[in-house]
Structure 1
Amino acid sequence: MQSNIQAQLLNALDLLLDVVCVVDCDGHFVAVSAACEKVFGYTQEEMIGKPMIDLVLPADRERTLVAASGVMAGNPLRNFENRYVRKDGQVVDIMWSASWSEGDQLRLAVARDITLYKQASARLRYLAQYDALTGLPNRALFEDRLQVALTRDARNGQHLALLFIDLDDFKPVNDQFGHAVGDLLLQQVAARIHGCVRESDTVSRIGGDEFVVLLDVIHSLQNAEKLAEEICVAIRAPLVVASHTVQVSASIGIALHRQHGTDPVQLMRSADIAMYAAKHAGGNQCRSAVHESFT
C-alpha cells in the first residue's frame, strides 16, 4: 500500500505546472518533473545530467551560485528569482524555492515560470508613468521631474522654464477624420515637439491635445521663447496622417522659474494663463507669463 501511494505521488509530480528539480552536490540535475519541457524547453532526459548553472543566464550566474551555496549550507531558499535560457534561446524569468537534504546530499527545488507576471508588472509600471498613446511621460512623472528640478535649482541657483502647449485646430481634425486619425496626429505632434528639445528636457502629454515641456537649466527667458517659437513652427508644418494632409497650430505659454513662480502649482498656472492669452490672441503663437512677485 505504501509503495502504491509513493508511486501515485511521483506520478502526481508530473501533473504540476511548476518544475520539481533534484540537483546533486556538484550542481547536476538528477531528476526533474515533466513540466521542465514546457518551462525550459528540454525533455526530462535532456536535462538529467546537465549542469544547472549552464541553463542560467550568464548575467545571473554569480548570484545564483551564491544562493545555491546558501541552500547547501542549510538555509532554505524562498522566492529567489533569476533568469534561465530555454533550449530555443528565449529568456524566462524563474522563481525558485529550494532546500538541502543533508542525508541524501541533494538539493530539492521547485521552479515557477513568472515571465508573464514580470512582463505584466513592467507594463503596469510603464503605464503608471507614461502616456500609452505617445510614449511620453504622463502628468505624474512630469510632476515628479519638475519637483526634483525645482529642488535642485533652489539649491544651485539655476533656472528652468515651463512651456504649456495646446493645439489650436485639433477638434476639427478629430471631427472630420475621426479619432483614429486624431490619435495618429497626436503621435506625430509629440514626436515633433520631442525633436525640438534637448535630451535633458522633458516633454509630457498631460491630457487631450495638451503638452508641457520642462526646459531644464535654461539661461534666460529669451532662450525659452526662442525654443517655444521653434516648436510652434515645427507643429504648424503640414502633417500626412493616414493618407490625409492636415495642418494644426499651437498656442504656447511660457513660465520661467522664480520670475513667474517658485513652486510647481505657480509655474503651471502661470504657463497655463500665458497659453490662454496666446490662444485668445488668435493662436499659432507664444506668450510669456506676466511677471509677478513670488516669495
Structure 2
Amino acid sequence: MTAGNPLSGAVLLRAFEQSHEAILISDRNNRVIAVNPAFTALTGYTLDEISGQDPKFLASGRVSSDFYTDMWQTLSEQDFWEGEIWDKRKDGSIYPKWLAISIIRDDRGAVRNYVASFTDITASKEAADRLAHLAYHDPLTELPNRLAFELHLSQALRVAQREDRQLALMLIDLDNFKNINDTLGHHFGDALLQRVAARLRECVRSSDLVARLGGDEFVVVLPEISSPRTATRVAEKINRQLAEPTQIEEHLLYATPSIGISLYPGDGDDAGTLLRNADAAMYHAKNSGRNNHQFYAAQMNEAASERLQFESALRQAISNLSPAASDFVLHFQPQIHAASGRVIGLEALLRWTHPTLGPVSPNRFIGIAEETGLIQPIGDWVIWEACRHLSAMKARGINNVRMAINVSAHQLRSDSLISLIHGAMACYDLTPSELELEVTETTAMQNPEATRGILDRLAAMGIKLAIDDFGTGYSSLAYLKHLPIHRLKLDRSFVKDLEEDANDAAICAATIALGHNLGLELVAEGVETDLQREFLSRLGCDVLQGFFYSRALPFEEALAYIQAS
C-alpha cells in the first residue's frame, strides 16, 4: 500500500471476493496464485485445482498462435490488453469472454503479477448475432431482405461481367394477395407468405438467391444461366409450385404468381435497370391474365407510363393542398398509456382519396412520393395540418395529448424543417412538448452525422423524438444511443406474432429492456389482441397502439374516442 492510500487490504480483498467479474492473479512467471469466487463459478475450477499452473489450460483451441503473439506483444509494450477471446470451462464447454489483463510491476519495473479479469459474453454475442441476422433477413419469412438482395445482386453482376456470363432477375408478385389479407386477416396472409417462401426455395439451386422485397413481392436471382431457357424452366417450376393450393387451418388458399424476368446483359447492365425492367415485365404478366411469366420487352414501358400517370395525379393533388379542399386528409390513431389506459397521444396518418381512383393506399403512393421528392411538400402539409388539428383539439378542452408526426428522409435533409416547425407552433400557439416527431430507423441511418445534427436542434427546442419501426432497419445501437431520442417504437412485425413465435417474444422483451436501460420510452405498434396487450404491459412497455384500441380515425371520431376513454 502507498502512503495516503485510503484503501486497506481488507477492502481490496472484499472487492476481489465479491466482484461479479472473474479474476485470476498469477505471479511473475505467470503461474496461478489466486482466483475469486466468480472465477470458480464461471470456469468450474477452484484454486486448489489450478494453483501453480499456467492459465493456458483455459485455452479453447479456437484461437490462433498469432493472436496470442499479438496479445503478449501489446502487454509487454503497454502493460495492458483487452479483447474478446474464446476459452474452455472445466466441463469442456467453450464460450466467448471479454478479457482484460494488466501487468503489475515492482519499484524497479520488473513484472510482479499478472491480473486477468473477464466476463462471459455469450448472451450479448447471441443478441448481436440475432440483430445482425435481422439486418439482412426478413423477420417473417427468414429470407434475405432488400438490403441483402441488393448486395448479392451487385456482387453477382460483377462476377457475370468479369466472366462474361448471363444472369436472370425474376420479380415475383402474388396475384390477389390483398384479398386474402382483407378478408381473412394478416394472420392468414403472413402464414401464406411463409409457405410461398419455402416453395420458392425449393424451386432454385443453392447458388441462386430468393429474397423478399416487402409485402407480397419476392425476387429470384439466377447468377449463372446458359440461356434464357434456363430462366423459363425455373419460372415454369415456380408457376406450377405456387399454383398448388395451400391449406392454412380451415382455409384452402391460392396464391398464383405473376413473374417478370430481365436478363443481363441484354436488358440492362446494372442492378437498377434490371430491377425496373423486371418490374415492367411483371406488370405485363399481370395484364396478360396473371399466373404467368413474361420477359422484358420494350413495349412493357406501358407500365412505366401508368406510373407516370399516377405520379401526375399525385402532383395534381399536391397542387390543391389546402385545409378546406384537398384530396388529402389526416386520420389519427390513439396511443394508450399501458399502465393507466389513458390516451396520451395521437399519431397523424395521411390518407388520399383521388376523384377517380378512389382511396389510394399509403403503401402505393408514399413510395412514389419519396422517389420523386414529392414527399417534401406532402410532409410539410402534414406538419401544418397536424398542428392545426392539435390546436382545434385544445380549443375543445382536450389537453395533455401529444401529436406524433412522421418525418421523411427528405424533410430531415431540408434546411427549412426547423423554421417550418417554428412557424406552425407559433401560428397555432403550441408548445414544443406537445409535438413528437417520428423518424424511421432506416432514415436515421441514411446520413448519420446530418441526422444527428438536425435531431439535436429539434430536441433542443423541446420536441420529443421517436425512432419508428425499430428492429426492421440495419442501425447501429452504438450510434442510436447517441441520438437525442425519447422513444423507440417497436415495429408491428414483431408484435403481431409474439403470441406464437418465441423469437418475436424474445425480441420484444429484449428491445423493451434495452430501451429502458437507455432511458427511453417504448411504444408497441400493431397491438391487435388482448394477449398482446397483456404480454407487452407485463414486460413494462410504456405505450400501446393498434387496432385492439382503435384504427386511425377522422378528427371528430378521434375526439369522441378520447372523450369516451
Q: TM-score range by the shorter chain?
A: 0.7 to 0.9
> Where does 1:101-180 land on structure 2 (aligned, <5 Å)?
101-102=104-105, 103=110, 105-180=112-187
- 1:255 corresponds to: 262
Q: CA deviation at 1:47?
A: 5.2
State the AA in 2 paired with 1:57: S
> Where does 1:1-295 land on structure 2 (aligned, <5 Å)?
5-24=8-27, 27-43=30-46, 46=49, 48-49=51-52, 51-60=54-63, 62-63=65-66, 65-66=68-69, 69-70=72-73, 73=76, 75-102=78-105, 103=110, 105-242=112-249, 244-291=251-298
Which one has more relative contact order, counting CA pairs under 8 Å at least 6 apart? 1
The question of whether the paired residues in 1 share the 8 Å contact of 2:99 and 2:117 is answered with yes
Report the CA distance shift for 1:4/1:151 in structure 2 as closer, same or farther (over 3 A).
closer
Q: CA deviation at 1:239?
A: 2.0
Report the CA distance shift for 1:61/1:30 in structure 2 as closer, same or farther (over 3 A).
farther
2:18 partner SS: coil
State the AA in 1 paired with 2:87: Y
Q: CA deviation at 1:21?
A: 1.4
Cα distance between partner residues in 2 of 1:221 and 1:149: 17
Gaps in structure 2 of 5+ consecutive residues: 300-565
1:213 partner SS: strand
Cα distance between partner residues in 1 of 2:51 and 2:80: 22
1:197 partner SS: coil
2:96 partner SS: strand
**Any idea what the Cα deviations from partners look like across 1:67-115, whole Å, max 9, x if unmatched?**
5643674543432211122345543211112133354643211213222
Q: Note the aligned Cα RMSD (angstroms).
A: 2.7
State the AA in 2 paired with 1:149: A
Higher mean C-alpha deviation, range 55-64 or range 205-214: 55-64
State the AA in 2 paired with 1:231: I
Report percent identity of matched pairs. 36
Gaps in structure 1 of 5+ consecutive residues: none
Cα distance between partner residues in 2 of 1:195 and 1:19: 48
Cα distance between partner residues in 2 of 1:270 and 1:208: 20
**Any idea what the Cα deviations from partners look like across 1:102-158, whole Å, max 9, x if unmatched?**
546432112132222222222222111111222211111111111122222223321
State the AA in 2 paired with 1:241: I
The question of whether the paired residues in 1 share the 8 Å contact of 2:260 and 2:279 is answered with yes
Q: CA deviation at 1:169?
A: 3.2
Q: CA deviation at 1:12?
A: 1.4
Higher mean C-alpha deviation, range 101-110 or range 16-25: 101-110
State the AA in 1 paired with 2:135: A
1:235 partner SS: helix
**Any idea what the Cα deviations from partners look like across 1:218-241, whole Å, max 9, x if unmatched?**
122222122111111111112233
2:63 partner SS: helix
Higher mean C-alpha deviation, range 5-14 or range 89-98: 89-98
State the AA in 2 paired with 1:223: T
Q: CA deviation at 1:278?
A: 1.0
1:141 partner SS: helix
Report the CA distance shift for 1:104/1:257 in structure 2 as closer, same or farther (over 3 A).
closer
Cα distance between partner residues in 2 of 1:89 and 1:170: 52
Higher mean C-alpha deviation, range 100-109 or range 15-24: 100-109
The question of whether the paired residues in 2 share the 8 Å contact of 1:250 and 1:284 is answered with yes
The question of whether the paired residues in 2 share the 8 Å contact of 1:72 and 1:107 is answered with no
Cα distance between partner residues in 2 of 1:125 and 1:290: 39
Cα distance between partner residues in 2 of 1:158 and 1:246: 39
Cα distance between partner residues in 1 of 2:248 and 2:204: 23
State the AA in 2 paired with 1:95: W
Report the CA distance shift for 1:219/1:291 in structure 2 as closer, same or farther (over 3 A).
farther
Higher mean C-alpha deviation, range 77-86 or range 100-109: 100-109
What TM-score comes out, normalization by structure 2 length? 0.48
Cα distance between partner residues in 2 of 1:153 and 1:146: 10
**Any idea what the Cα deviations from partners look like across 1:191-238, whole Å, max 9, x if unmatched?**
111111112211110101110011111122222122111111111112
Q: Count how many residue pairs are aligned between Structure 1 and Structure 2.
A: 292
